[in-house]
A and B are shown apart, each in its own frame.
Chain A
Amino acid sequence: MKVDERVCNALVLFGMLALPLWALAQDEPFTITLVTRAVILALAAVGLNIVLGFGGMVSFGHAMFFGIGGYAMGILAYHAQTYMPLDLGLFTFEGTKSMPVIWLVAMVVSAMIALLVGLLSLRTSGVYFIMITLAFGQMFFYFAISWAAYGGEDGLSIYVRNDFPGLNTLVPIQFFGVCFAILCVVLFLVARLRASPFGLALNAARQSGVRVETMGLDPMRIKLVAFILSGAITGLAGALFADLNRFVSPSMFSWQLSGELIVLIIIGGVGRLMGPVIGACVFVALEHALGGLTDFWHIYLGVILLCIVLFARGGLIGLLTGKESAHV
């Protein structure tokens, strides 16, 4: 049975919305939190997919942006909750508990770091790019561990979830609504991006840098902008993730997380708009189901992953729609 990709996409989003609503009716807040987790991981992977899927750059350090987003939330909320303003000389920084402000900061800081890391990493390509992004990710990991002012290895706990105007974010379904709405908006924007002249040029840069140059365009700059946008989205997801757990720690920067984000995209299908979303749902479901059955669930994840790489190259969407590549 071959399913149309758009139908498939709509079904997934509908399911993601329906499950928490059902859980609300059944009074099962844990399920709502679980789906919220999937939504946030999906958002992070949607960001990565711009670089990995559309631009063909295998970034193995995207946890760096996830962590930066997380720490942006952690630091802002920490200063607000302890009423200990940070004296920066020129001005005093009070911190904030407002989600929109936190999101903005998370995205801007992630974008700035992405600019710097991208400028350095994009001088290289192929395996070098993979290893360098991995190494930059580790750099942030170790920095977070040794940054004693914000909890060092232990991380930071934020006691009360941050505020969103008009909502009580501590109610799981309301926080879910916020995250789901953001995911939908970002998916819409990314869909436009993909079809735009920029998206077309990025896709061309993935296939043939020489071709793009011959058209008077600069493939490096195109890829750099993609890297920045990607970092900002993953950073935003990090801020939401920190708010979900009300906790940030260096583990948000870990290389395993970078790997898992890639895995999400592969499970769903590289370069497809909804690939990361489907991947995140499957991943969280597996984690929950297998994690309940056995302590060693990562072994099964490893085996499943091996099978996908060796036998199902188009990911789940590829299997369902019968098309191996997102572009054919």
Chain B
Amino acid sequence: MSSILIIEQILNGLQFGVMLFLMAAGLTLIFGVMGLINLAHGSLYMVGAFATAAVAGATGSFLLGLIAAMVAAALAGAIIEMVVIRRLYKAPHLDQVLATFALILIFSEGTRWLFGSFPLFLDIPDVISGPVTLPGGIAYPIYRLTLIAVGLAVAIGLWLLIERTRIGIQIRAGENDREMIAALGVDISKLYTLVFALGAALAGLAGGLVGAIQSVQIGMGEPVLILAFVVIVIGGIGSVRGAFVGALLVGLTDTLGGVFLPEFFKLFMETGAAQKTGSAISSMSVYVLMGIVLIWRPTGLFGARS
């Protein structure tokens, strides 16, 4: 176990974490502002990935693909917000779960109908496809470093948006007192559509970015969605800062657990058994982390105390 491997895995964990943040930020904003639990957020991630694959395939430009991902996901988000979601804001959580579950079915099958069942593959542009040598002699893929940079940039951008802009003030006010900001003349339904589309665009961007290192396929959104849920439960629902901390924790736990737990079990077990036990336990590590956080703080790290 060399220090190079450790650093490499920490970088992998960070990269996974910031991508989870892109998903979780939208989810947590949507819940914080509108009080809505949106299962279809994973579908928007998938829409982003497919849009990137289609546009990058047709134009040869990955960057155009990513823009298409954000536009397509934001559009899809705005449309479902206006057609379905806005009828659910005052509905019980159960109805929200069901309606957005229905949306997943519609999105998944719709995409299957458009693109077929086979996974698509995305090529990373040449400029950022190779490895780069980091200080200390670690060769690491440029693309993954780019993902980390993009994720951090989005995090900073979101923070600026929420803390420093008019819309941000409205968003924060919306979390605290809906009636009041409506009374102050803010067009609340427009604000909701906007927040929903913003969350969708971030999910779409994540889908496009991750699609380049995994395959683009139906159902790719849900595993990420569920991890994003774990993230916002850990961070505290409604807190963007919590989503950021939670995402990094989950990303690192998942990645490092997968590598180091088998190694750990090798200390006192034979190699094959250690590999199996380690990977079985590591697949649960994120959820164990969540359990521990909840025992400690039932509303998450940065959640409002009830």
* Chain A interface residues toward B at CB < 8 A: 52, 58, 60, 120, 123-124, 126-128, 130-132, 134-136, 138-139, 142-143, 145-149, 255-256, 259, 262-263, 266, 270, 296-299, 301-303, 305-306, 308-310, 313
Contacts and interface: CB of A to CB of B under 8 A. Distances in A.
B237 A128 contact: yes
Interface in B258-299: 276, 279-280, 283-284, 286-288, 290-291, 294-295, 298-299
Given A299-B109, A302-B109, 16 more contacts: A123-B295, A126-B93, A127-B31, A128-B237, A139-B284, A139-B287, A262-B94, A263-B101, A296-B113, A298-B105, A302-B102, A306-B84, A306-B99, A306-B102, A309-B98, A313-B95
A299 B97 contact: no
B229 A120 contact: no
Contacts of B97: 58, 60, 130, 259, 262
Query: How would you classify the secondary structure of chain B's contact residues: helix, strand, loop or mixed?
Result: helix
Nearest to B292: A120
Contacts of B37: 127, 130-131
Nearest to B36: A127
Contacts of A134: 226, 229
Interface residues of B, number: 46
A149 B276 contact: yes
A6 to B, nearest CB: 25
B110 to A, nearest CB: 6
B164 interface: no
B305 interface: no
Question: Do most interface residues of chain A lie in helix, strand or loop, or is the interface mixed?
Answer: helix
A255 B93 CA distance: 17
A125 to B, nearest CB: 8
Contacts of B237: 127-128
19 contacts: A127-B31, A127-B37, A128-B233, A130-B93, A131-B230, A132-B290, A139-B283, A139-B284, A139-B288, A148-B276, A255-B226, A263-B101, A270-B94, A296-B109, A298-B105, A299-B106, A299-B109, A305-B98, A305-B99
Interface in B99-152: 99, 101-106, 108-110, 112-113
